[in-house]
């Protein structure tokens, strides 16, 4: 009886290890091919959950922005964001297209679905394993909020009601 109690967990662990090794052997580490539907869905759902949680924990409050802050946002975008997302924010550069996942069109629903505090959090903290760097040390909160406002002007479709 005692041998059975030990044997079952050991065999279960061996089976899990075998499946894991099999999946790892077939995993393509290259950033060249587009990800599959399952990988994309799992990654996006995890990202959405974690960004929502972190932004809520941060209790981020939008300050009052001056016209000068808003006018400066396009300059900040050009110097910090256009390298990957393109000057228009909608056409990723060669660098952005070489990332994995690819730098998104900032006007599409994939980006525009984020709330303002979530977008602020993403710009400030970056997203690990996505190529999105953190700008919290380069940009002030005012500049980051101005970028959030600027990104809203890039929306390519009308929000769903």
Domain region containing 79: 67-161
Q: What is the pTM of this model?
A: 0.77
Please, are residues 103 and 87 in contact by the beta-carbon 8 Å criterion? no
Whole-number average pLDDT of the chain: 88
* 8 in a structural domain: no
Rounded to an integer, what distance in angstroms lies between the CA atom of residue 18 and that of residue 38?
Answer: 21
* 96 in a structural domain: yes
pLDDT recorded at residue 161 = 47
Per-residue pLDDT tens over the stretch 87-122: 999 999 999 999 988 999 999 999 999 999 999 999
- Closest by CA to 144, choosing from 113, 127, 111, 121, is 121
- Closest by CA to 122, choosing from 12, 19, 47, is 47
CATH assignment at residue 129:
1.10.760.10
Rounded to an integer, what distance in angstroms lies between the CA atom of residue 123 and that of residue 100?
Answer: 18
* 91 in a structural domain: yes
Number of structural domains (the chain) is: 1
pLDDT recorded at residue 114 = 96
Asked if the model's pLDDT at residue 158 lies above 60, the reply is no
* 39 in a structural domain: no
* 3 in a structural domain: no
Burial zone of 121 (CB within 10 Å; 0-12 exposed, 13-18 middle, 19+ buried):
buried
């Amino acid at each position: 009886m005692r041998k059975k109690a030990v044997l079952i967990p050991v065999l279960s662990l061996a089976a899990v290890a075998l499946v894991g090794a099999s999946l790892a052997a077939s995993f393509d580490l290259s950033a060249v091919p587009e990800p599959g539907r399952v990988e994309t869905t799992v990654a996006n759902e995890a990202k959405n959950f974690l960004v929502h949680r972190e932004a809520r924990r941060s209790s981020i409050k939008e300050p009052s922005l001056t016209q000068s802050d808003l006018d400066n946002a396009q300059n900040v975008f050009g110097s910090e964001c256009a390298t990957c997302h393109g000057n228009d924010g909608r056409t990723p550069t060669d660098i952005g297209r070489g990332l994995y996942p690819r730098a998104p069109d900032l006007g599409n629903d994939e980006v525009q679905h984020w709330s303002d505090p979530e977008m602020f959090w993403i710009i400030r903290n970056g997203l690990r394993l996505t190529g999105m760097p953190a700008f919290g040390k380069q940009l002030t909160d005012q500049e980051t909020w101005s970028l959030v406002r600027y990104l809203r002007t890039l929306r390519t479709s009308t929000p769903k009601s």
